[in-house]
């Protein structure tokens, strides 16, 4: 059975403990990281999180898709999605 994902509250507590800091400072650091990463990826850049991986934006072209309920084919406009490539260090840690 898969473990439940760590909540933000649990993550803030773990970061505060690892930093030897208070929860308020750890929460501010996580919020700043999320804000910076969001802004950079939205602008088309990439963010490397050392030891974890890389976040980047991938643009998808206009394409034909099928509605599974009706079977009709329609054109889906071009859009963007966020991708995450896992770092080798994290893969090694998980598989080691």
Query: pLDDT tens across 6-65, in order?
Result: 999 999 999 999 999 999 999 999 999 999 999 999 999 999 999 999 999 999 999 999
Give the chain's end-to-end CA distance (angstroms, integer).
Answer: 20
Q: How far apart are CA 82 and CA 41, in angstroms?
A: 8
Which structural domains are found in the chain, ordered by start?
A: 7-43 (no CATH), 45-96 (4.10.520.10)
Q: What is the pTM of this model?
A: 0.76
Contact 55, 37 (CB under 8 A): yes
């Amino acid at each position: 059975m898969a473990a439940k994902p760590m909540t933000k509250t649990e993550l803030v507590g773990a970061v505060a403990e690892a930093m030897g800091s208070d929860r308020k400072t750890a929460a501010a650091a996580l919020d700043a990281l999320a804000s910076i990463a969001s802004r950079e990826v939205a602008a088309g850049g990439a963010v490397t999180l050392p030891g974890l991986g890389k976040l980047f934006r991938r643009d998808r072209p206009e394409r034909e898709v099928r509605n599974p309920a009706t079977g009709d084919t329609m054109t889906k406009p071009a859009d963007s999605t966020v991708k995450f490539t896992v770092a080798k260090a994290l893969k090694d840690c998980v598989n080691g």
